[in-house]
Structure 1
Amino acid sequence: MPEESLAKKQCKWTLEEDNLTIELRGQGMKWDNIAKRLPGRSSISCRLRYQNYLEKRTIWDGKQLNKLARSYARFKDQMWQEVATEMGIPWRSAESMHWQLGEQEMRSRGMTVVVTFDHAVRSL
């Protein structure tokens, strides 16, 4: 293989690359396999491009929003059951607190490091 073909791209993403990434990820394809379809792009660069740019610019139509709402209503008890079981509370309580905290506070609290000493637990 020529040395140039092994080099990773250092240029802007094209519209074609973006569209193919969206399409393949929408089909559930893994990042390694997506990268194989985009010469010069690594699985990490594909994931980062998708998460930091493509995923955020996606426009949802009314049909997709309705499907999301119906799916959430159908699966919410199962989604929260594992968290609730770990906490020893009803799943509805866990879900309710999630909505009260909001996305940003959930994220910041989720990144809190917990240190234990004997029987005491402190949050740093």
Structure 2
Amino acid sequence: MTVPEPHGIGTVQLSKIDSGVFPPKSSTTWATRDDETLMSARASGLNWQPIAAKHFPSRTANACRKRHERLMERKNAEDWDGVKLETLAMEYMNVRREMWIVLSNRVGEKWTIVEAKCMEKGLKSLQQAHRSAQRKERGNSVGDSGIGIGFPDAGYESDNSHISERSDGHALPGQH
């Protein structure tokens, strides 16, 4: 579409967005009503493109999908009632030594220290340190992971070598 330029100098080509054929997508906040509409539309079986076109013309299909993911994550987190959390706590305490020993043997620290450090740093920090370590590996430079857990080198032995059984009394693989 062409329109006269100001002051009659010539014409300017307008894009479809400028002409209103395709309204620009906006990044406004989602209202509670929008969330309800989104959840209902998805529950009815609609895919993201039809949801965006029908209910949210100013949003992309991807924006609808990402919002739905966040809403589902929030809903799932809220589903952890006291009983479910107590069950998790009981099972965690039953297997914690076994599961942390695997990691502690790899990093050369006592399992209780590895557990405490992982809990202290949290998943996001560990994921970030992992990505950083991967970048360093790709660049052939080895360095500190940034989380305060040392990694054994060729001359360092794990201080977990004295551990020969699981918390339930059974021998670890490779142990007598």
The TM-score normalised by the length of structure 2 is: 0.38
Structure 2 residue runs of 5 or longer lacking an equivalent are 1-40, 47-65, 146-176
Aligned: 1:68 with 2:97: no
Which residue of structure 2 aligns with residue 24 of structure 1? none
Which residue of structure 2 aligns with residue 80 of structure 1? 100
Query: What is the aligned residue count?
Result: 82
| Bigger RCO (CA 8 Å, 6+ sep) | 2
Q: Structure 1 residues 92 and 14 mapped into 2: Cα distance closer, same or farther (>3 Å)?
A: same
Partner Cα separation in structure 2 for residue 51 and residue 77 of structure 1:
34
Q: Structure 1 residues 107 and 56 mapped into 2: Cα distance closer, same or farther (>3 Å)?
A: farther
Partner Cα separation in structure 1 for residue 115 and residue 104 of structure 2:
9
Q: Structure 1 residues 53 and 82 mapped into 2: Cα distance closer, same or farther (>3 Å)?
A: farther
Q: Structure 1 residues 50 and 74 mapped into 2: Cα distance closer, same or farther (>3 Å)?
A: farther
Higher helix proportion: 1
User: After the TM superposition, which residues 11-90 of structure 1 pair with which residues of structure 2 at under 5 Å, given as runs?
Assistant: 12-14=41-43, 53-58=71-76, 59-90=79-110
Cα shift at 1:55:
4.0
User: After the TM superposition, which residues 94-105 of structure 1 pair with which residues of structure 2 at under 5 Å, given as runs?
Assistant: 94-105=114-125
Kindly provide the CA deviation profile for residues 6-63 of structure 1, in whole angstroms up to 9, marking residues without a partner as x: xxxxxx521689xxxxxxxxxxxxxxxxxxxxxxxxxxxxxx9997553431221111
Runs of 4+ more than 6 Å apart: 48-51
Which residue of structure 2 aligns with residue 106 of structure 1? 126
Q: Structure 1 residues 90 and 51 mapped into 2: Cα distance closer, same or farther (>3 Å)?
A: farther
Partner Cα separation in structure 2 for residue 62 and residue 13 of structure 1:
29
**Coordinate RMSD, CA, aligned:** 3.4
Identity %: 20
Cα shift at 1:80:
1.1
